[in-house]
Amino acid sequence: MRAMILAAGFGTRLRPLTNTIPKPLLPVAGRPLIVWNLLLLKQHGITEAIINLHYLGHLIEQELGDGSALGMRLTYSRETVILGTGGGIKEAEAFFENQPVVVMNADTLLDVDLTEVIRLHEVHDPVATMVVRADAEAEAWGPVELDAMQQVIRINRTGRVGVKAAALCMFAGVHVLHPRVLADVPRGKESSIIDPYVRALERGDMIRGFPMRGYWSDIGTPDRYAQAQQDAENRVIDLSRRVP
């Protein structure tokens, strides 16, 4: 299976740290954040990935090159205008070759069993499998509701109606999707991947949830960045297992 890492964002909330360096290149435990995510992919057998670029994207490409230093094969989707999660994934669609693909954010530090996520996706064959997590602030992040069979029924309170939720979670920013879910995503326009997911739910397509229990941090603010650095130093998340 191939993967896509979303790395085009501006990192606005982390300024001035991101005035001259894109957020995916911020160091954690001596390596850029995006490298830890690439090594997570490699740890689970994924060695081919595409990375979308916009803000200071040339610096990311200079740092990673063709991926050979990591034992991977990397390619890039360069966005002249930022396209968001929906438009960005749509722009890279040809790379997927009509096969399911793992998508993850470059600015999230997490520990999740991608092998199991992929296995369950292949067993159930939904249009997408979303990695989710329990969080007391799920409403603020954007609630994802699951039924008793761990199927997603609503995202941001929209989707299937008349079905009782068994769990309220937040989206962890990692998902496996089949390109067929992109059929109605406009090419070349900014959009969110949540929009086609909601439309899929409304027409009765299956989206699975995968509740994760490992470490997760959104590196979105200076405070959360500092906490993630401390967590890595204290082995709250053990990144040493990813080092080749």
At residue 71, the pLDDT reads 95
At residue 203, the pLDDT reads 94
Q: How far is CA 38 from the centre of its chain?
A: 12
What is the CATH superfamily name and number for domain 2-237?
A: Spore Coat Polysaccharide Biosynthesis Protein SpsA; Chain A (3.90.550.10)
Q: How far is CA 80 from the centre of its chain?
A: 21
At residue 140, the pLDDT reads 82
The 3-class SS string of the chain reads CEEEEECCCCCHHHCCCCCCCCHHHCEECCEEHHHHHHHHHHHCCCCEEEEEECCCHHHHHHHHCCCHHHCCEEEEEECCCCCHHHHHHHHCHHHHCCCCEEEEECCEEECCCHHHHHHHHHHHCCCEEEEEECCCCHHHHCEEEECCCCEEEEECCEECCCCCCCEEEEEEEEEEECHHHHCCCCCCCCCCCHHHHHHHHHCCCCEEEEECCCCEEECCCHHHHHHHHHHHHCCCCCHHHHCC
At residue 151, the pLDDT reads 96
Which residues are paired to 108 by β-bridges?
Answer: 218
What's the CA gap between 63 and 65, in Å, rounded?
A: 6
Q: How does pLDDT run along the chain (244 residues), one tens digit per residue?
A: 999 999 998 888 888 878 889 999 999 999 999 999 999 999 999 999 999 999 999 999 999 999 999 999 999 999 999 999 999 999 999 999 999 999 999 999 999 999 999 999 999 999 999 999 998 888 888 899 999 999 999 999 988 888 888 899 999 999 999 999 999 999 999 999 999 999 999 999 999 999 999 999 998 899 999 999 999 999 999 898 887 7
State the pTM of this model. Answer: 0.92
What's the CA gap between 227 and 166, in Å, rounded?
A: 31
At residue 243, the pLDDT reads 79
Q: Domain extents for the chain? A: 2-237
Strand-pair category, 101-105 with 2-6: parallel
At residue 166, the pLDDT reads 86
What's the CA gap between 110 and 107, in Å, rounded?
A: 10
